[in-house]
Amino acid sequence: MSHVKVVTLPKMGSVSVVCKTKRDLSPATPLDKRDDEALGWLYWDRIWPSSVALSEWLIQQFFPDELAGQRVLEIGCGTGLVGVVAAKLGASTTFSDLVPITLEAVKETCSLNGISHVDTWTLDWTGKVDRPEQFDMVVGSEIFYDSTVLGNIAYVLRQTLAPGGTGFFCDPNRLGLDTIKQVFQERFNVVTTKIPLTWPPRKGYGGKMATLYQFRHRFSNQI
């Protein structure tokens, strides 16, 4: 059943995160809505190390409120930690994921953290981008794990990132830098940096690094 984890972040302190499990799916949810992702992989039910790394990096760049007035979209949000941190830095965050129950958890997480404006979007990278908005910043963590959908993610970014905006993504380099660059470089300027992974906070768990990607539209007429 759902439980609350606490992530302690520099400068910001404790952020409470609701993690749901497949047991939280309502029995009333029709079978055809219980997609593979919800019943199978359960990738959305935990706090992934890169989400903490990206959160820490955003705090470093934008604390205390440098994101005020910015529209931020998190894609493949899972627990939504990165989007919550962006909201605490002043942004107006839209949380999106393929799996609806993640968005229910995110709403509870926002309420626990005093975030009153919560916008959610059931966005499947492999489907239609069915909302017209564009965002100043698009963020995502641990979503570069399947090379067959990288092109779809790049397409979603093309559609949702406003001209002049930046995409910030973080992952532990599962597919290799070259694979990511090959897909994104056609449309985006790509800058990469290494940042430290500090989650889970176990003794002896140190020294591991993640890749931070910054994407900006290569062309002014980006779509």
- Applying CB under 6 A, the residues found at the interface with ligand SAM are 37, 43-44, 47-48, 50-51, 76-79, 97-99, 102, 123-126, 141-143, 149
Q: Nearer Cβ to ligand SAM, position 142 or 217?
A: 142
Whole-number Å distance between alpha carbons of 205 and 173: 18
Q: Which is nearer to ligand SAM, 115 or 170 (CB)?
A: 170
CB 115, min distance to ligand SAM, A: 17
Taking CB atoms, the residue at the shortest distance from ligand SAM is 78
For 77, the token pair is: 């949000």
- Taking the complex as a whole, how short is the minimal distance between the CB of residue 169 and ligand SAM, in angstroms? 10
Residue from 71, 83, 135, 149 nearest 110 by CA: 83
Measure the CA–CA gap between 53 and 168, rounded to whole angstroms.
12
| For ligand SAM, the closer CB: 62 or 125 | 125
* Smallest distance from ligand SAM to CB 190, Å: 19
C-beta pairs of 2-10 under 8 Å, 24+ apart in sequence: 2/105, 2/108, 4/112, 5/47, 7/47, 7/52, 7/55, 7/81, 7/199, 8/201, 9/52, 9/55, 9/56, 9/59, 9/85, 10/56, 10/59, 10/60
- Nearest approach in angstroms of CB 152 to ligand SAM is 7
Instruction: State the nearest-atom distance from the C-beta of 174 to ligand SAM, in Å.
Output: 10
Pick the closer one to ligand SAM by CB: 77 or 84.
77
Cβ proximity to ligand SAM, 202 vs 220, nearer residue: 202
